[in-house]
Amino acid sequence: GLCLPSSDLDFVICLPAVHKNAPADAPGVLEGRNAINETWQKLLARHLKGESWIDPRSIKIIDRTAVPVIKVSTKDTRARVLQLDISFGGPEHHGLEAINMVTDVMEEFPMVRP
């Protein structure tokens, strides 16, 4: 209930525990030919570049933050371009918790709605 026409869409990818250990959080965790050179963000960004509905020029990884984000835009359609922010869930990610808090605040104080 808080979206504005210029808002982006935020996606949080929550991986099952079995997938959380690979790839590494930082490139180069292993040495030699087994080196891990991609984070989850880089791996996803590389795959998104091949999607027909994504503008590959718009893909940006912001990784020098507490929660790294991939910013991407859809291709121009008759409807409009959508801005997407994609992040991976983890102990440092509180976005999903914030949804519940904002919902509670809006129920208690309806005047905060735009």
Mean pLDDT by 10 residues, the chain (114 residues): 75 73 54 64 92 94 90 84 88 81 89 78
Q: Note if the pTM is more than 0.95.
A: no
DSSP string across 24-71: -SSTT-S-GGG-----HHHHHHHHHTT-TTB-GGG-EEE-SSSS-EEE
Tokens matching residue 38: 């991609």
Instruction: Write down the pLDDT at residue 1.
Output: 58
**Are the C-beta atoms of residues 47 and 38 closer than 8 Å to each other?**
no
Return the pLDDT at 45: 94
Q: What is the pLDDT of residue 113?
A: 76
